[in-house]
Chain A
Amino acid sequence: MTPHVLTRSLDRSATIFILIVAGLGILIPLSNLLLPAGSMFQVPTYLVALWGKYVCYAILALSIDLIWGYCGILSLGHGAFFALGGYAMGMYLMRQIGSRGVYGNPVLPDFMVFLNWPELPWYWYGFDMFWFAALMVFVVPGLLAFLFGWFAFRSRVTGVYLSIITQAMTYALLLGFFRNDFGFGGNNGLTDFKDILGFNVQAEGTRCALFFLSCAALIGAFLICRAVVSSKLGKVLLAIRDAESRTRFLGYRVESYKLFVFTLSACMAGVAGALYVPQVGIINPSEFSPGNSIEAVIWVAVGGRGTLVGAALGAVVVNYAKTFFTSGPLAPYWLFMLGALFILVTLLLPKGIIGTFNTWWDQRKIELGNGAAASAAREDGAAPKPNPAE
């Protein structure tokens, strides 16, 4: 009776979630590649890339839910970690262009030639190697989160104050990355990618592979989050969320727990960003804009804070709606709709879609007479009180 650490806590909804993601991850690429174009079951390439983007957003949502839903840390700057992971990948893709750029310089990316930079700045070294870039995808966001958290959590900055400084962090990065002399392409960012690991990023096969990898990463991130929240550490996180000083008086070093989970979350956000960039073909400073981070928090609130499946679902649902509405006559009103959505969810569905569904499901079970088993068997127990400002 000692199941593996990653699988011991898989309840039914988690299993369904993994099966759906795995199914989409396999079937969508297969349909795109094997079926003839124009067939009603063929998923066109632009949709593969679009859904790949949603899957990356779902990973970002999971990373936010891990800290917000389970530990009460409301980060309004998580887009920064996503963007840093994206920039790390973008730098690799820029170096892969080689002499095929407009200016044909074998080493310097076009924007550096344009700015008359004599040589590659030191912080671009190593990004021509995929393994190094892939490492930086974790290390850069993780390190920033570690340093940021080390200062913030030790100084016991909590609640809305922490949210504000995370917001300031991403805004500061936004301003920095906008500058040409920062060395990351200024407001144009990094784009015109050609190859990834020798494969053309525009090719159908590459897009399908990236989509498959994104789904695999989503499942991986989900399993990691699941393992964390269902361990005893997960119980400590809930304890910190619900009664931080009580946890301290029991002898837990609250700041270490927050630092661990915040850093882990930032690494996951970085991976999401790294998978996102080759699929959308560009990374620019607007990814750091505070609005992006707030939008990601809304996905989690809509799907169900403190339910991992909900976070991922919220990201897909809200972004699907965004695509749908911003491509029609309602486009100018999208931000109003998003704001209204957040207000309505907070008022009417404070537990989000999945949280509300779980409550309903449990009640139904109780009505059917095996209530004790229903509430005892539910391991997540995590549907928090609606307190977005926590």
Chain B
Amino acid sequence: MNAMETRTTSAILYLDGVHVSFDGFHAINNLSLTLEPGEMRAIIGPNGAGKTTMMDIITGKTKPDEGVVLFDGTTDLTRLDETRIAELGIGRKFQKPTVFESQTVQDNLLLALNVDHSVRGTLFWRGNKAESERIDKVLETIRLTDARHRLAGSLSHGQKQWLEIGMLLAQDPKVLLVDEPVAGMTDVETHLTAELLKEINRNHTVMVVEHDMTFVRELGVKVTCLHEGTVLAEGTIDQVSSNERVIEVYLGR
């Protein structure tokens, strides 16, 4: 595939004609979507629309049956595994908050830092000032400085969500995929999370999957609505939420 070497798109993430089926069920159906560098995009859609499967494809967890998935215009993500894709600079927050519960908040962030991840590197690792400063900064951003020595398992649900976002920050990827960051959060926490994501977006490309329309509106970014594994509508929140089909399959009348 020499064509890959000459860049054909300016997009940091480029999906074209992607198909995935599980036992005959078409989870993703001719999905095409592009994400420009520095953009924040909100993805909405009913359950089963393929939002999480799309993230699985981008991060290498699921291999598409056909279609093109390019990172940074040149790298074919369908040939790489999760570790390699993470190393390239694509970070992911899961739908259910997934942190390392038996370790402290601080250690969770330490593990997420994008430093040497080899066996030898971690075996002979010694802490250094630059790393602890980065951890301090992330702790401040996610408002968990006081909880740094607590076990991650003892955090509240909202705090775990933030810790996981913080781990993404420590990982410092080029693209962040964030799956339902405000599920189960209070209104105040939701608002703070929107602020947090906007701040992250200043120097990262972000893709957010979310059901909470108030939250999506607060983000104030371009919205893509998925339905049955394909793009139903794309545009500003007002355009998408006034789209007849979107109202019919997702928002309801």
* Chain A residues proximal to chain B, CB less than 8 Å: 2, 5, 228, 231-233, 235-236, 238-239, 242-243, 245-254, 256-257, 260, 372, 375-376, 381-384
Cβ contact within 8 Å between B86 and A250: yes
Q: A249-B91, A381-B104 are in contact. Are A235 and B110 (CB under 8 A)?
A: yes
Is B242's CB within 8 Å of the partner chain A? Answer: no
Residue of B nearest to A248 (CB): B82
| Chain B 84-103 near chain A by CB (<8 Å), digits 1 or 0 | 00110001101000111111
Closest to A252 in B: B117
Interface of A (DSSP majority class): helix
B83 neighbours in A (Cβ, 8 Å): 248, 251-254
A249 CA to B91 CA in the complex, in Å? 7
Contact flags (1/0) for B102-130 with A, using CB distance below 8 Å? 11100100111010011100111110000
Report yes or no: A372 in contact with B149, Cβ–Cβ below 8 A: yes
Asked if B197 lies at the interface with its beta carbon under 8 angstroms from chain A, I say: no
Known interface pairs A249-B92, A251-B83, A376-B149. Does A228 touch B101 (Cβ–Cβ under 8 Å)?
Answer: no
The docked-state distance in angstroms from the alpha carbon of A260 to that of B122 is 12
Q: Which residues on B are within 8 Å of A, measured CB to CB?
A: 59, 61, 82-83, 86-87, 91-92, 94, 98-104, 107, 110-112, 114, 117-119, 122-126, 149-151, 167, 171
B86 (CB) vs chain A CBs: closest residue: A251
Contact indicator B102/A249 (Cβ below 8 Å): no
A-B contacts counted at CB < 8 A amount to: 89
Q: Are B119 and A260 in contact (CB under 8 A)?
A: yes
- Residues from chain A with a CB closer than 8 A to the CB of B123 are 228, 231-233
Given A231-B125, A232-B125, A381-B104: A250 and B119 interface contact (C-beta under 8 Å): no
With a CB–CB cut-off of 8 A, which chain B residues contact A231? 122-125
Indicate which residue in A239, A249, A375 contacts B151 across the interface (CB closer than 8 Å).
A375
CB distance from B119 to the nearest CB of A (A): 5
| Least CB distance, A69 to chain B, in whole angstroms | 11
Report the minimal beta-carbon distance from B216 to chain A, rounded to whole angstroms. 24
The verdict on A383 contacting B102 (CB below 8 Å), with A2-B126, A231-B125, A233-B122 known, is yes
**Which residue of chain A lies nearest to B116 when distances are taken between CB atoms in the complex?**
A232
Closest 7 CB pairs of A and B: A251-B86, A232-B125, A376-B149, A233-B122, A248-B82, A232-B122, A233-B123
22 residue pairs from A and B, CB less than 8 Å apart: A2-B126, A5-B124, A231-B125, A235-B111, A235-B122, A236-B111, A239-B100, A239-B103, A239-B111, A242-B100, A242-B102, A242-B103, A243-B99, A249-B59, A249-B86, A249-B91, A249-B92, A251-B114, A253-B118, A256-B119, A375-B151, A376-B149
Is the CB–CB distance between B110 and A249 below 8 Å?
Answer: no
A157 shortest CB reach to chain B, Å: 16
Query: Could you say which of A5, A232, A248, A260 contacts B110, with CB atoms under 8 Å apart?
Result: A232
Q: How far is the CA of A232 from the CA of B83 in the complex (A)?
A: 18
Residues of B within 8 A of A239 (CB): 100, 103, 111
Which of A245, A251, A382 is close to B117, meaning CB atoms less than 8 Å apart?
A251
Which residues from chain B contact A256 at a C-beta distance below 8 Å?
Answer: 118-119
* Contact A251 B87, beta carbon cutoff 8 Å: yes
Indicate if the CB atoms of A235 and B107 lie closer than 8 Å. Answer: yes
How far is it, in angstroms, between the C-alpha of A231 and the C-alpha of B59 when the chains are bound? 28
Q: Check B111 against A243 for contact (C-beta < 8 Å).
A: no
Residues of B contacting A252 with CB < 8 Å? 83, 117
Residue from the set A242, A247, A249 with the largest chain B CB neighbour count within 10 Å: A249
Nearest chain A CB to B165 CB, angstrom units: 13
> A residues within 8 A CB of B125?
231-233
CB distance from B120 to the nearest CB of A (A): 9
Contact of A248 among B86, B112, B114, B150 (CB under 8 A): B86
Q: How far is the CA of A252 from the CA of B167 in the complex (A)?
A: 14
